[in-house]
Chains A and B, each alone.
Chain A
Amino acid sequence: MAFDYDQYIRGGKLPHIWCPGCTYGIVFKSLLRAVDTLKFNRDDIALVSGIGCASRLPGYVDFNTLHTTHGRALGFATGIKMAKPDKHVLVVSGDGDATAIGGNHFIHACRRNIDITVLVFNNFIYGMTGGQYSPTTPSGHMATTMPYGNIDPSFNIPDLAKGAGASFVARGTAYHAAGLDRLITEAMQHKGLSVVEIINACPTTHGRRNKFKSPTDMLLWMKDTFLPAVAFDKLPPEKTAGKFPMGVLFKKEGVPEYCETYYGLVERLKKQREGRA
């Protein structure tokens, strides 16, 4: 039986704002399938976003949804999680939102290892404002604010997340949608800060300025460029040029989760008081 997306989508809120050829719809559906797998009570889910194309996603979904300020979704999400540690808190963000204006919040959420799942929709560009370069725009690519080709070095988001202390780091792509379901599911099951970088395509503001003739070309580029980590790791170094691993790239169990540690302290203080009484 076909998956019933309507059960999770708010009535009357579609069509979405995303352009023809944008891959965010693919990821949106993958997210809904993942949530469905986990059978979370939707009253117990908060979906938080910042500003940008990806950040419009929460408005379409029938959860507790919060569309905040540019880059700050993780600050809001941290407040929600600390106030209600037994609830599920998900953040959707873009490459600019998460790693430029929100970079500080991103690394510190990773460092705390607070139990929030962060989905970074990486389309390599600022799409909503019309195609300015972001911290992930590849070297040499054309952008409206890099009219002679990008000279800015780029972030590797999984490396950034791992280095900052996230205990679950994965990468998926819109092309490999079935695999993406599993990555998002596993990220949400993980206790601690989980990051999934999701490679996306923006044909409107990135692809057409960079020799991708169609949205399909961008999906095929994902197919050729991203290899399962197991296969990638077996390649000789000369064959990894221009290729990237995907799948679960880093996972560490047993790292103290922030809310558990904090509320463990609360319990300890309570016992001390009771012991004295």
Chain B
Amino acid sequence: MGKIKLLQGNEACAEGAIYAGCTFFGGYPITPSTEVAEFMAKRLPQIGGAFMQMEDEIAAMASVIGGSLAGCKALTATSGPGFSLKQENMGFAMLTEIPCVIVNVMRGGPSTGVPTGPGQSDIMQCKWGTHGDHPVICLTPAYVQEIFSETVRAFNLSEKYRTPVIIAFDEIVGHMRERIEIPDPGVLPVINRTKPTCPPSEYLPYDDSKGDVPPMANFFEGYRYHVTGLNHGPDGFPVNASPRIHTDELRLIRKVEGNRADIVKFEETLLDDAEVAIFAYGVSGRSAKTAVEAARKEGIKAGLFRPLTMWPFPEEQVAAIASRVKAIVVPELSLGQIIFEVDRCAKGRCKVEGIYRVDGDPINPAQILAKVKEVK
């Protein structure tokens, strides 16, 4: 039996990071994610880890990558404008294959927007925010307990695939307090990066000849190698206009796309006989679950698909649902973003209808139920 606690989502995220073995946090204060930093500021010095409040969001992201390269599991947390500022260095970590976890507690609006309100309008930025083609893993928990376990999973995926992992949840889930159980050590798996076993003279940090995820040496362990944000060869040194760039960028994408069975996670509720499916995540997923229960009481065959992995997008699953339902309803706290992905996978096999809201309040179950009735 683990420890029972009453925690808000942001605190559960920090607890999950500690459970996963995180010993480095680099951050910058921003609403509504600040509690993650506050929790880490208290906990990390207690366990000998490093906490840094950096001078800005960009430096925070940079410090996290540096900390990871020096051997720590590293976390940063941010929201809205801060997430925009981190994008360039996130791309650096993707290309240089340095594990780290980025939490985005989503708030409303472009620019400063609604700092204290919930939003889900960064979900496409999670996928496409940094420039160039790049691999992205993004997890979307909806409950405090789930934020804990998905944070552990985020670190595991990051270490396993040598890539940054984003956790995106909204302000409501981040600030909501719920009862959670923190499992004893060893209950949830904890994965560490694979290190090289060859002698340093033979080490190639980006050697893809034995698999898509090359072993990673930490700095100061005798493997003196070069890390650059330029496209590079197996030895880590820059290459220009080479076929290697094409094949290496394909490998980076394949690390994620080729491991969907391991990475893509979701929850299905009453979908087997559903005539109307709801595709929803985060706080909208919680409302959708209540809407499904209400619909069933009225004899309406509604079901819920709630992705815990948003990127890579659960394409096969959505396609399968689309081929057996009349309609998919997509409630989201944006003016319509993830609906484009749902529509792309549905390929016209069913209606796809959105419910959008950006006024600072969540989409409530009644709104979703009304839409379900409208499309059934």
Contact = CB atoms under 8 A, between A and B. Distances in A.
Interface of A: 10, 13, 42-44, 46, 48, 58-59, 62-69, 72, 74-84, 87, 104-105, 107-108, 262, 265-266, 269-270, 273
A82 B67 contact: yes
B228 A59 contact: yes
B22 to A, nearest CB: 12
A75 B66 contact: yes
B356 interface: no
User: Which 7 A/B pairs are nearest by Cβ-Cβ distance?
Assistant: A79-B66, A75-B62, A79-B63, A75-B59, A83-B70, A108-B55, A76-B66
A79 B88 CA distance: 17
Given A44-B220, A59-B226, A87-B220, A80 B237 contact: no
Contact of B89 (A62, A65, A69): A69
Contacts, number: 133
Contacts of A108: 54-55, 59
Contacts of A105: 55, 59, 62
B222 A43 contact: yes
A65 B26 contact: no
B224 A64 contact: yes
Given A79-B52, A82-B50, A105-B59, A58 B226 contact: yes
A77 B69 CA distance: 10
Interface of B: 23-24, 26, 45-46, 48, 50, 52, 54-56, 58-72, 74, 88-89, 92, 219-222, 224-230, 237-238
24 contacts: A10-B226, A44-B220, A46-B70, A46-B219, A58-B226, A59-B228, A59-B237, A62-B224, A65-B227, A66-B66, A66-B69, A66-B219, A69-B62, A69-B89, A72-B89, A78-B54, A78-B66, A79-B24, A83-B70, A84-B219, A87-B219, A104-B55, A104-B56, A269-B45
A2 to B, nearest CB: 24
A32 to B, nearest CB: 15
Query: Interface of chain A, helix or strand or loop or mixed?
Result: helix
Given A84-B220, A104-B59, A79 B70 contact: yes
A10 B200 CA distance: 14
Contact of B61 (A74, A75, A82): A75
B45 A265 contact: yes
B225 A64 contact: yes
Given A66-B228, A105-B55, 19 more contacts: A13-B237, A43-B221, A58-B226, A64-B225, A67-B230, A68-B92, A69-B89, A69-B92, A75-B62, A78-B52, A78-B54, A80-B69, A82-B50, A83-B24, A83-B71, A87-B220, A262-B50, A269-B45, A269-B46
Contact of A77 (B45, B55, B64, B66): B66
Contacts of B226: 10, 58-59, 65-67
Contacts of A76: 62-63, 65-66, 69
Contacts of B89: 68-69, 72, 75
Contact of A79 (B74, B222, B225): B74
B366 to A, nearest CB: 47
Contacts of B50: 82-83, 262
